[in-house]
Amino acid sequence: MNFIEIFIKILEIDSTSGKERALSEFLCSNFSTPNTQTVIEEVGDDTQNLLIKWGEPEIVFCTHLDTVPPYFAPRVDENIIYGRGACDAKGQIISMYQTCLELENEGYENFGLLLLSGEECGSKGAKYQKNKGKFAIVGEPNNNQLASAGKGTKLYEIEIAGKKAHSGYPESGENAILRFVEFVNKLNTLCRHSLPQDPELGHTTFNIGKLTSDNSHNVISDSVRFLCYFRTTFLTDNLIDKMVSNLCNDYVKIKKISGDAPYKFFTVNGFNINTIAFGSDAPHLKGFDKVLLYGPGSIENAHTDKEQITIPEIYQAINDLKKIYFELKK
């Protein structure tokens, strides 16, 4: 099989977060060569990290095994390959693997391919991994560009309480839905007008997810629960905890779940450079001296029902990754 056919094979494996072991086992069986050693690292939640290494790696190509749900099978439309993980991040896996094979064929060694579990649900594999080296090149869909910096994240679990009442007599209750609307409007005003704009990373943004309220249509809501996820900048990352805490009161309860600081990436000459607003495993690769981020495909297609990557993007990525490798070897 050529590497595009292998790519289709791995797209046929459902590796949504928590199910990625099937993919890691397939890769463990099919990605080795006579010159490689594969190291399996059990993460502890029935998932695995894999390090396929050629010698003792100083430069590591690194991306993740898991994808967001829901899974959908691949299809090919001329030069476009669709499917869950097409760009995020199985397109990264195949680009990096083919790069490694070409470097092997050209006689190079002391590099590796590090594949991590759980990136889409808190970077569990990256936090667990214990590998070390001079450089890690993180693969994420970035339009075949290098990133110079990435936004940080802050995730909070929030509950807004109210008081039940018959919806025909709203004055008898306290509507948690209306309190939620007031809360979000206040948060939006703070983000737009009170937080400073970062000259490199721009505005701080937030998103609401997992929004639930179990009231019937004819009962005033007594509870709204949701997750609030911030994308922070170098100027605002240290301000968000206090800002959110100040929104607490007798009926608003807030619990911080997780967070990563904004991140500066290492870059090399000869490539288009941008900044990114999406998260990655990069902040958790503590054993590497410098971390880069590069990859084919568009983040705007990731996590959508039109997730895709083009075959020319993959070929460009292989050429670019080799160029990055040679720059780092200097």
Residues 192 and 168 in one domain: yes
Who contacts 242 (Cβ-Cβ below 8 Å, separation ≥6)? none
Who contacts 325 (Cβ-Cβ below 8 Å, separation ≥6)? 59, 99, 103, 108, 111, 137
Residues 26 and 7 in one domain: yes
Distance CA 264, CA 68 (A): 25
Distance CA 274, CA 162 (A): 45
Amino acid identity for residue 298 in this structure: S
Q: Which two tokens stand for residue 152?
A: 């940080």
User: How many Cβ atoms from other residues are within 10 Å of residue 217's Cβ?
Assistant: 5
Residues 28 and 136 in one domain: yes
- Residue 185 backbone phi and psi in degrees, to 5: -60, -40
Residues 318 and 285 in one domain: yes
- Residue 14 backbone phi and psi in degrees, to 5: -75, 110
Give the domain-ending residue among 260, 291, 306: 260
Residues 113 and 55 in one domain: yes
Give the domain-ending residue among 260, 278, 302: 260
User: Which residues does residue 219 pair with via DSSP β-bridges, in sequence order?
Assistant: 166
Write the DSSP assignment of 138-163 as a string of letters.
Answer: EE--STTEEEEEE-EEEEEEEEEE-B
Residue 197: DSSP 8-state: P
Residues 94 and 200 in one domain: no
Distance CA 165, CA 45 (A): 43
Residues 52 and 143 in one domain: yes
Distance CA 115, CA 40 (A): 10
Residues 183 and 127 in one domain: no
Per residue in 213-233, pLDDT (tens digit) is 999 999 999 999 999 999 999
Distance CA 227, CA 151 (A): 18
Residues 282 and 190 in one domain: no
Residues 99 and 72 in one domain: yes
Distance CA 140, CA 103 (A): 21
Please answer whether residues 134 and 239 qualify as being in contact, where contact means their C-beta atoms are separated by less than 8 angstroms: no
Give the domain-ending residue among 260, 287, 319: 260
* Sheet containing strand 223-232, strands side by side: 205-212, 223-232, 152-161, 252-260
Q: In this structure, what is the dihedral angle of CA atoms 101, 106, 108, 109, given to the nearest 10 degrees?
A: 40
Residues 146 and 273 in one domain: yes
Per-residue model confidence as pLDDT tens for the chain (330 residues): 799 999 999 999 999 999 999 999 999 999 999 999 999 999 999 999 999 999 999 999 999 999 999 999 999 999 999 999 999 999 999 999 999 999 999 999 999 999 999 999 989 999 999 999 999 999 999 999 999 999 999 999 999 999 999 999 999 999 999 999 999 999 999 999 999 999 999 999 999 999 999 999 999 999 999 999 999 999 999 999 999 999 999 999 999 999 999 999 999 999 999 999 999 999 999 999 999 999 999 999 999 999 999 999 999 999 999 999 999 998
Angle between helices 90-105 and 311-329 (to 10 degrees): 50
Per residue in 101-160, pLDDT (tens digit) is 999 999 999 999 999 999 999 899 999 999 999 999 999 999 999 999 999 999 999 999
Range of the domain at 213: 152-260
As for how many domains the chain has, the answer is 2
Phi-psi region of 83 (alpha: psi -120 to 50; beta: other; left: phi over 0): left
Helix (H, G, I), strand (E, B) or coil at 27: helix
CATH of the domain at 19: 3.40.630.10
Residues 134 and 53 in one domain: yes
CATH of the domain at 233: 3.30.70.360
